[in-house]
């Protein structure tokens, strides 16, 4: 077996589409390319090959700012990438070790799928938690989902939504002009902590929206109250899964976020989605709305700091 490093974009794309499972939205080369084209991180795809056939893949980009390798495409913000459902294509720990060993520097991977645990044997550690809604668990019935809450909780939600409905709450869909409003609301709410404060990320996200729109995968949901835009969410549908990508709310209308999230549940039940992915971050509401937590993992190996032993792989266990 030998490890070959590919840096040519066409070769990397060929390898990605040959080796990487196309299960979710973030598995699509075109989706990740929207960010690669804006951040311009050098590609470094490490392929472990046996008899000229790839059997393992570590798809990396080099983050020049932090001087370390990260998951392709390297759209880092505050030291972490944003895209989730990252993977290491390695059927055994030996192959995983050889892939990491071939990287000429530190490796920081976040949001790894749970299957990494089956081969990492202690190399990967807990990272963050993603949250999903499975309409099938309620027989694709929104009413059954509502009945899973206590009567007190349902009464409170109905009261909040009634106040908005009394102010002429209206849902609108797929209004492309509302995307700029979402960006501004998100920036107003989070300031420098908003991904959209980075011009590269903003431009990449705009490219992503254009790609999703062109492919018929984009879903924009807008709520207006009293004629004012109160909330905007952007999501994408792929492989019977609905992924919420970004959102913004107007603080003038408390409770509107609950109305938006309940709409996503109702829509996904009505359209028989297999899952709805609300991504990482709890924000104090996801578990209360009976979303299912899905742990994600990280593998951080700072070779210089931990005295990385290339032959015995000693020290890497402490890197996670």
**Distance of CA 115 to CAs 59, 87, 90, 290, Å?**
16, 8, 10, 24
Q: Are residues 19 and 75 in the same domain?
A: yes
Asked whether residue 119 falls in the same domain as residue 26, the answer is yes
Q: Evaluate whether residue 289 is within a structural domain.
A: no
Which structural domain range is residue 97 located in?
A: 2-127+296-319
**pLDDT for the residue 73:** 98
* pLDDT value, residue 123: 84
Same domain, 210 and 155: yes
232 with 156, same domain? yes
* Residue 29's CATH number: 3.40.630
Rounded Cα distance between 139 and 155, Å, is 23
Nearest to 27 by CA among 241, 209, 210, 274: 241
pLDDT (0 to 100) of residue 208: 98
The answer to whether residue 279 sits within a structural domain is: no
In a domain, 278, yes or no: no
Do 41 and 159 share a domain, yes or no? no
- Domain-located, residue 287: no
| Cβ contacts of 297 within 8 Å, gap of 6 or more | 112, 113, 114, 116, 117, 120, 124, 125, 126, 127
2-6/43-50 β-pairing: antiparallel
Per-residue pLDDT of the chain (320 residues; tens, 9 = 90+): 899 999 999 999 999 999 999 999 999 999 999 999 999 999 999 999 999 899 999 999 999 999 999 999 999 988 889 999 999 999 999 999 999 999 999 999 999 999 888 888 888 899 999 999 999 999 999 999 999 999 999 999 999 899 999 999 999 999 999 999 999 999 999 999 999 999 999 999 999 999 999 999 999 999 999 999 999 999 999 999 999 999 999 999 989 999 999 999 999 999 999 999 999 987 789 999 999 999 999 999 987 654 444 433 333 333 43
pLDDT value, residue 305? 53
pLDDT for 304: 66
The owner of tokens 């937590």 is 293
Does some domain include residue 98? yes
CATH number at residue 230: 3.40.630.30
Same domain for 212 and 242, yes or no, is: yes
Query: Are 81 and 153 found together in one domain?
Result: no
**Residue 283 falls inside a structural domain:** no
The whole-number pLDDT of residue 281 equals 83
Asked if residue 161 belongs to a domain, the reply is: yes
Residues 154, 57, single domain; the answer is no
| 95 to 56, 108, 165, 208: CA distances (angstroms) | 7, 18, 57, 33
User: Do 253 and 183 belong to one domain?
Assistant: yes
Instruction: Report residue 263 as tokens.
Output: 């709409």
Dihedral pair phi/psi, residue 173, rounded to 5°: -135, 145
Asked whether residue 102 is assigned to any structural domain, the reply reads: yes
Q: Which tokens is 237 given? A: 């549908």
How many separate domains does the chain show? 2
Predicted pLDDT of residue 111: 96
CB atoms within 10 A of CB 147: 11
Q: Which strand (E) or helix (H) includes residue 203?
A: helix 199-214
Centre a 10 Å sphere on the Cβ of residue 90 and count the other Cβ atoms it contains: 23
Same domain, 91 and 157: no
Whether residue 209 sits in one domain with residue 309: no
Do 10 and 79 belong together in one domain?
Answer: yes
């Amino acid at each position: 077996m030998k490890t070959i490093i590919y840096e040519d974009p066409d070769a990397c794309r060929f390898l990605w589409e040959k080796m990487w499972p196309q299960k979710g939205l973030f598995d699509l080369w075109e989706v990740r390319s929207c960010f690669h084209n804006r951040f311009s991180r050098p590609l470094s795809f490490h392929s472990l090959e046996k008899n000229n056939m790839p059997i393992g893949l570590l798809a990396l980009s080099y983050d020049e700012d932090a001087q370390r390798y990260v998951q392709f495409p390297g759209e880092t913000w505050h030291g972490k990438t944003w895209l989730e459902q990252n993977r290491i294509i390695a059927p055994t720990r030996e192959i995983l070790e050889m892939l990491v060993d071939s990287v000429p520097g530190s490796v920081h991977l976040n949001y790894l799928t749970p299957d990494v645990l089956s081969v990492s044997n202690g190399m990967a550690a807990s990272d963050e938690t993603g949250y999903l809604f499975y309409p099938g668990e309620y027989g694709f019935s929104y009413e059954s989902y509502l009945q899973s809450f206590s009567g007190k909780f349902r009464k409170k939600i109905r009261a909040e939504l009634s106040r908005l409905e009394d102010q002429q709450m209206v849902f609108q869909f797929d209004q492309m002009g509302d995307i700029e409003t979402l960006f501004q609301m998100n920036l107003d709410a989070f300031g420098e902590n908003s991904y959209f404060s980075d011009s590269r990320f903003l431009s990449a996200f705009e490219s992503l929206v254009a790609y999703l729109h062109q492919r018929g995968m984009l879903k924009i949901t807008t709520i207006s109250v009293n004629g004012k835009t109160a909330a905007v969410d952007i999501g994408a549908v792929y492989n019977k899964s609905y992924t919420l990508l970004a959102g913004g709310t107007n603080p003038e209308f408390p409770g509107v976020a609950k109305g938006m999230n309940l709409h996503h549940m109702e829509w996904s039940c009505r359209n028989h989605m297999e899952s709805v992915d609300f991504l990482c971050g709890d924000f104090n509401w996801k578990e209360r709305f009976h979303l299912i937590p899905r742990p994600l993992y990280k593998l951080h190996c700072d070779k210089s700091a931990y005295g990385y032993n290339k032959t015995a792989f000693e020290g890497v266990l402490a890197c996670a």
